[in-house]
Amino acid sequence: MSAYTSALAEDLAPGLLERFDRYARVFTTSARDGEGTPSTPGQFDLARQLVDELRALGLDDAAVDEHCYVTATLPGDGPAIGLIAHLDTSPDAPGEGVEPIVHRGYDGGVIELPRGGTVLDPARMPELRDAVGHDIVTSSGDTLLGADDKAGIAAIMTAVAHLVARPELPRPTLKVCFTPDEEIGSGAALLDLDAFGARFAYTIDGSTRGELQDETFTAAEAVVTIEGHDVHPGFATGKLVNAARLLADLVASLPADRTPETTSGRDGFIHVYEMEGTAARAQMRAILRDFDDDLLEGHADVVRAAAARIAQREPRARVDVTVRPQYPNMRRFLEPHPEIVGKAEAAIRAEGIEPLRTPIRGGTDGSLLSARGLPTPNIFDGGHEYHSVREWASVQDMAAAAAVVVRLAGEWAGAE
């Protein structure tokens, strides 16, 4: 029995895999400390390649702007619907020199990759067990694969090529957009929404086959800075105020059961992800996450209270807390337009898949786009174990995502 979800997906798979392999090899890792957008020049390499391909398909307005946003239009009958994926890959794993490997007809065993001693073990990666019989794509072991989000780009490009080749198939006006720097949280910031001209959009940036996500974390960042008083340790008695020790005490006082590794589902967390410091000055950065705005504010209060205790205990130290919003839960922007999620559900069902409605314990370009006025839920793209050298994707599931995009175009065709 075929592992494909439909004849359409099977028909799209070869073109999809050829594109995915090409895109994955382009070095598009973004950089948290990069200046400007895009944060790294390699993203332009992929952007220009995609513009050329879109023009070759006949999307004559395909272009890339100075911030590396690729846009193009496929005209049709109905409202302008955006299809969005991101060009960059995560800075959390090496992304240069990616060489994808296709493991045909996965037998359910352990997959050993040739480099880096990387092993994909279904005992530790349960989603691999659902992919027995699939063609699995991995990296060579010493880089990530980049299915996040080149699987999304390949799904959109393959669906657009299919619609171009079959003008009789129904479609609304489709607005394609590939964004830079999603992984560092600035992917949607500089997209000119008026020029883009979509009424609603979808990101193809999820994971497991069937996922449809209209809810993300509400996100903020907390930065705590402690200024101590540094004195030569030989003369420090009664004088030294050690910022590094004070910060360590502060972090240790944060609740141990409110971290990413101890929470799941709809529970939020405080994640201390960076600390640096000397006796003179120490700083920590934490991300605060929840699905509920009030609970998010509660996490910020916990950090503020911890800082206040340190300041009270050591009045000679200067303790500063800054909390900055990052992105909001997209649900409130999507609720007034139930047809956006409704048509995506219909397209996924038409592909023979039961939609999985899971909240995202993270953000997507759609979080910020929705808040900026372009309601944008997220659809699966068939990849797993993102941001790691164990990242893998199923050809059948990536093809299912491309088929869902074709069916989604059919759902919107002729709509008001």
Q: Which is nearer to Zn ion, 53 or 149 (CB)?
A: 149
| Residue 149 lies near Zn ion (rule: CB under 5 A) | yes
User: Rounded to the nearest whole angstrom, what is the least distance from the CB of residue 1 to Zn ion in the complex?
Assistant: 31
Q: Which helix (H) or strand (E) holds 412?
A: helix 395-412
* 215 catalytic per annotation: no
- Chain centroid offset of residue 270 CA: 20
Rounded-to-integer distance, Cα 30 and Cα 28, Å = 6
User: Rounded to the nearest whole angstrom, what is the least distance from the CB of residue 412 to Zn ion in the complex?
Assistant: 23
Site for Zn ion in 185-214 (CB under 5 A): 205
Q: Which is nearer to Zn ion, 142 or 149 (CB)?
A: 149
Binding-site residue total for Zn ion (CB under 5 A)? 3
| Residue 381 lies near Zn ion (rule: CB under 5 A) | no
Catalytic residue among 142, 148, 182, 397: 182
Catalytic residue among 53, 88, 211, 214: 88
Rounded-to-integer distance, Cα 24 and Cα 380, Å = 18
Q: Among 53, 88, 142, 148, which residue interacts with Zn ion (rule: CB under 5 A)?
A: 148
Q: Which is nearer to Zn ion, 182 or 351 (CB)?
A: 182
User: Rounded to the nearest whole angstrom, what is the least distance from the CB of residue 386 to Zn ion in the complex?
Assistant: 7
Say if residues 24 and 151 touch (Cβ distance below 8 Å).
no
Q: Choose the stretch contacting Zn ion; rule: CB under 5 A; options: 14-22, 141-149, 206-214, 260-268.
A: 141-149
Long-range contacts of 105-114 (CB under 8 A, 24+ apart): 105/133, 105/134, 105/135, 106/131, 106/132, 106/133, 106/134, 106/135, 106/136, 107/132, 108/132, 111/136, 111/138, 111/392, 113/138, 113/139, 113/140, 113/141, 113/389, 114/140, 114/141
CB-based burial label for 28 (10 Å; 0-12, 13-18, 19+) = buried
Say if residues 30 and 179 touch (Cβ distance below 8 Å).
no
* 121 catalytic per annotation: no
Q: Tokens 């919003």 map to which residue?
A: 325
Which runs of consecutive H residues, i.e. helices, occur in 255-380?
293-313, 331-334, 338-350, 365-371
Collapse the DSSP code of 134 into the 3-class scheme (helix H, G, I; strand E, B; otherwise coil) and give the result.
coil
| Residue 181 lies near Zn ion (rule: CB under 5 A) | no
Q: Which is nearer to Zn ion, 79 or 260 (CB)?
A: 260
Please give the structure tokens belonging to residue 34. Answer: 């990069």
User: Rounded to the nearest whole angstrom, what is the least distance from the CB of residue 323 to Zn ion in the complex?
Assistant: 25
Q: Which is nearer to Zn ion, 53 or 205 (CB)?
A: 205
User: Rounded to the nearest whole angstrom, what is the least distance from the CB of residue 182 to Zn ion in the complex?
Assistant: 6
Q: Which is nearer to Zn ion, 152 or 277 (CB)?
A: 152
User: Rounded to the nearest whole angstrom, what is the least distance from the CB of residue 211 to Zn ion in the complex?
Assistant: 12
Q: Which residues bind Zn ion (CB under 5 A)?
A: 148-149, 205
Catalytic residue set:
88, 182
